[in-house]
A and B are shown apart, each in its own frame.
Chain A
Amino acid sequence: MKHTTKPEEPPVEMPDAWWYKVYFAVIVTTVVVIGLLQAFTYYFSS
């Protein structure tokens, strides 16, 4: 495994608008995951 110690090129900072889309995706994914867990519980408990 290569151990990176020095940046090879200047870091690229993504714009805020891009990050807000990522945050929205995280929230949607979390809701879906909790929903799937609830479905899992219901399926094997009933």
Chain B
Amino acid sequence: MRSLDWAVVVAYLAYVIWDGIRMTKHSGNVEGYFLANRSLPWWAVGLSVMATQLSAITLVGTTGQAYSDGMRFIQFYYGLPLAMIILCITAVPFFYRANVYTAYEYLERRFDAKVRSLTSFFFLISRGLGVGVIIAAPSVILSIVLGWHEVTTIFVIGLSTTIYTMVGGVQAVTWTDVKQMFVIFFGLSVCMFVIISQFPSGVSFADGLTLAGATGKLTTVSLSFDLKEKYTLWSGMIGGLFLFLSYFGCDQSQVQRFLTAKSVSEGRTSLLMSAFLKIPMQFMILLVGVLVFVFYQFTAPPMIFNQVEVGKVAQTAQYQTLKGEFDTAHHQREQAAEHFLKDRTDATRQEYLAADKAFNASRKNAVDYVKSATKNESFNDVNYVFPTFVVQNMPMGVVGLIIAAIFAAAMSSISAELNALATATTIDFYRRHFKKDGTDRQYVFFGRIATFVWGIFACFVATYATNIGSLIEVVNKFGSFFYGSLLGVFVLAFAVKRARARGAFFGLLFGISSVWVASHFTDIEFLWFNVIGCLVTVVSGYLISLTDRGGIDVVDV
């Protein structure tokens, strides 16, 4: 990082914090602090919805995954447009017209206070831990770039976001999200342009994609129906559909976004913005990772991207031996790639694929050695690929811009999650159980305290989350544990007239238990957990409801 890079990062951070804090004037009452007085335009809400989902994990983890595994991850998003349509028909009008602050508040009207408290509690647990992982991702980057300890970077990122979220409320979250989306896409566009411009002379963008395509890195549709295969068209269309229904329809961090819209129509339009743009946007992010892969066909990549771990083993004889083998494998792959691009026959293609296979085996040996030498079995190099590439290869100024973009991605998600956690804590617990007749001032004050406490909690969780595999998968796997079952409760509420409070309450517990069983005793991939949790919750909730002859009638809202 040089002086211009520092200037870009510091300017970005200072502007975002100032911009968030100046929203205080719109946050004096409860509805203003938590729902922006339901006054925001669809495009701002839509950008905020996308910014909340696009975390630093998406930038760092997805690009790293594209580098090592290709673009197959994009299938994860194929169910999203259909999920948005279903939510536009159901959740948006239900929640908006019910005039609620949280999704779980609606469940008390439909069932009872116990169901509301239980669902809100599971949201607080899953999101409170999830936001810790979201903070951990950019801290990984900063620890490399700045040479700081990860704990320091965690608290710098976590606390700076906590401050403007705590002071400015949902107005600060939404309007900073809008600006952060522009920073992210400007940064990514510049990054792509610079990578392509650094290809060797004679190697075009199309040539690069041909190399990536030959190695299977451009696979975007897999028709396999194997439940043990992680990303397929079907796991995305079915498992992803359930996950996104739950995430956008039952997770307060997203529900709160469209509750701030001016009307039901504007809330719907904001969700449909994601339906149109999410897959192309994810394609662009994955393409950056693939371009990094192409770049390293002609430039020697680091054998291990995590320089901290390299420092622990670099002097050992075995590491030096592995490094020699790795350099040779890279050189042979580079030559094979040049042959393939010059003369595109089946023979040169096979030569290139064999060289790529040998290269990958050489890198795997190195990763395995680092794991055993450092006694760190959970070591995963994927998250370090993109930041290390940026710092080592991007020109002055661009490094700062991309680091600012990663900061923007992190802060946009963290702020929305903290705001949602504070809202659920204040509205579903403090106002519901402890202070029913409080003033606006008391609730806003409590909301600010809750934001601060959740921010500190998330920072502590993040200190344990920096080295637990591909971070984006950790978040999605963890979410899948709860999301399907929470969705099941809302399906019971919206669509099953015979559903009663007892059925919803125990159905939720059965749903989460079934996911636990599936995760521990089967090899089913995590996207299917959402389907299992939802179905078990709905079926068991309905059957239990049949045993309850009392209860309340359906409340139309």
Shortest beta-carbon distance from A4 to chain B in Å: 6
A residues less than 8 Å from B74 (CB atoms): 37
B residues less than 8 Å from A22 (CB atoms): 272
Cβ of B276 and Cβ of A5 under 8 Å apart?
no
Shortest beta-carbon distance from B244 to chain A in Å: 13
Decide if B84 is an interface residue (CB 8 Å cutoff): yes
**Cα(A29)–Cα(B179), bound, Å:** 27
* B194-245 contacts to A (CB < 8 Å): 206, 209-210, 212-214, 216, 218-221, 233
Cβ of A12 and Cβ of B221 under 8 Å apart?
no
Interface residues on A, range: 20 to 34
**Closest chain B residue, CB of each to CB of A35:** B221
Shortest beta-carbon distance from A1 to chain B in Å: 7
A residues less than 8 Å from B49 (CB atoms): none
Q: Besides the contacts A7-B39, A23-B88, what 11 more A-B pairs have beta carbons closer than 8 Å?
A: A5-B37, A11-B263, A12-B265, A26-B81, A27-B82, A34-B220, A34-B233, A41-B220, A44-B209, A44-B212, A46-B213
B residues less than 8 Å from A34 (CB atoms): 78, 220-221, 233, 279
Interface residues of A (CB under 8 A from B): 1, 3-7, 11-14, 19, 22-23, 26-27, 29-30, 33-34, 37-38, 40-41, 43-46
Shortest beta-carbon distance from B161 to chain A in Å: 19
Cβ of B85 and Cβ of A4 under 8 Å apart?
no
**Closest chain B residue, CB of each to CB of A37:** B220
Shortest beta-carbon distance from A20 to chain B in Å: 9
Cβ of A41 and Cβ of B213 under 8 Å apart?
yes
Known: A14-B265, A27-B81. A4 touches B275 (CB 8 A): no
**Cα(A3)–Cα(B175), bound, Å:** 8
**Cα(A22)–Cα(B265), bound, Å:** 12
Across chains A and B, which 10 residue pairs bring their CB atoms closest together, nearest first? A11-B263, A44-B213, A45-B213, A37-B220, A30-B81, A44-B209, A23-B85, A38-B221, A11-B262, A26-B275
User: Please, could you name 6 A-B residue pairs with CB atoms under 8 Å apart, sorted by A?
Assistant: A3-B171, A5-B171, A6-B37, A13-B265, A41-B71, A44-B206
Shortest beta-carbon distance from A7 to chain B in Å: 5
Cβ of A6 and Cβ of B39 under 8 Å apart?
yes
**Cα(A13)–Cα(B81), bound, Å:** 22
**Closest chain B residue, CB of each to CB of A6:** B39
**Cα(A43)–Cα(B41), bound, Å:** 41
